[in-house]
Amino acid sequence: MTLDEYLKVRREEVEAALDELVPRDDERPSTIHRAMRHSLFAGGKRIRPILFMAAAEAVSDPDAESLKAACSLELIHTYSLIHDDLPALDNDDFRRGRPTAHKVFGEAMAILAGDALLTRAFEVLAGLTGPSDRRIALVGELATTSGTVNGMIGGQVADLEAEGQPVEEERLLYIHRSKTGALIRAAVRMGGVWAGSSAQQLRALDEFGRSVGMAFQIVDDILDVTATSEELGKTAGKDAEQEKATYPALYGLEESRRLAREQYEAAVAAAEMFGERGLRLREIAGRVVERSN
């Protein structure tokens, strides 16, 4: 398969699995389930669960439970987007080309929809039937990466507190490594853990995930400056409007592109140890840097 074919197949598998894992929109209380599904099935690249699967493939052949485990990442990611878009945080009206959850269902229901997706993610991991030590490790990985110490929530706090402040290199690195990079890194690590990676393999996957996560956010910063709202599926130019700490604000566009490429090269080097099994990881790293939305 080409990379495009691979991504298409994996996206369809993730969509089908998510559909089974989340309550139907007519199940009582239906409003919360409709709100959850509104954001969860609004489109998106599903890059986090796909990275989980690609990392698992780099180590061994994924088992039947791998896809469920991978979907926990998308549940967490969608919860974070719903909350990020709230008026108290980034105050966005559109996400993935459609009105955000709070615009359709109100702020209270949007908050609860995010909470419900967060809760469901851990319920999914707890219900896996694979080895208990790996299941526990996945729960720990996802909880840590979603939390306050070098995790997603910590990154969001630092991002909010940096608005309107002079952009500092150390603060910018912390925000990007935590707010976006942590969950991408966790996706790669979790795929390896579930597939039974050795300590050496997990170190390589960790380095790959760290580099891809950073490249992903640098490119996000660039696209907020260079792409249109239609291309992004959300409001363009919000970073500058809110005076956020970004790579273009600190380094300019050309240097930001160079730094993204540098992170891509580090990711590819980390994945080399997996040989042919690591091909998809290397290809996905390239797609992250080259994407236009």
10-13 long-range contacts, CB within 8 A, separation 24+: 10/46, 10/49, 10/50, 10/53, 11/45, 11/46, 11/50, 13/67
Confidence of residue 90 (pLDDT cuts 50, 70, 90): confident
Determine the average pLDDT of the residues in 120-130: 96
What residues contact 139, with CB distance under 8 A and at least 6 apart? 122, 125, 126
Range of the domain at 233: 3-290
What local confidence, expressed as pLDDT, does residue 231 receive?
A: 61
**Number of domains observed in the structure of the chain:** 1
| Digit-coded pLDDT (tens) for 24-74 | 999 999 999 999 999 999 988 999 999 999 999 999 998 989 999 999 999
240-254 CB burial, b ≥16 within 10 A, e <16: eeeebbbbbbbbeee
Confidence of residue 226 (pLDDT cuts 50, 70, 90): confident
Coil vs helix vs strand at 22: coil
Average pLDDT of every residue of the chain: 93
* CATH number, domain with residue 95: 1.10.600.10
Please state, in angstroms and rounded to a whole number, the distance separating the CA atoms of residues 105 and 123.
24
What is the arithmetic mean of pLDDT over 79-94?
Answer: 92
Question: At CA 84, angle to CA 79 and CA 285, rounded to 5?
Answer: 75
Say whether pLDDT at 207 is over 90.
Answer: yes
Confidence of residue 251 (pLDDT cuts 50, 70, 90): very high
Per-residue pLDDT at 43: 85
In angstroms, rounded to a whole number, what is the distance separating the alpha carbons of residues 118 and 127?
A: 15
What residue ranges in 21-149 does DSSP mark as E strands? 94-95, 98-99
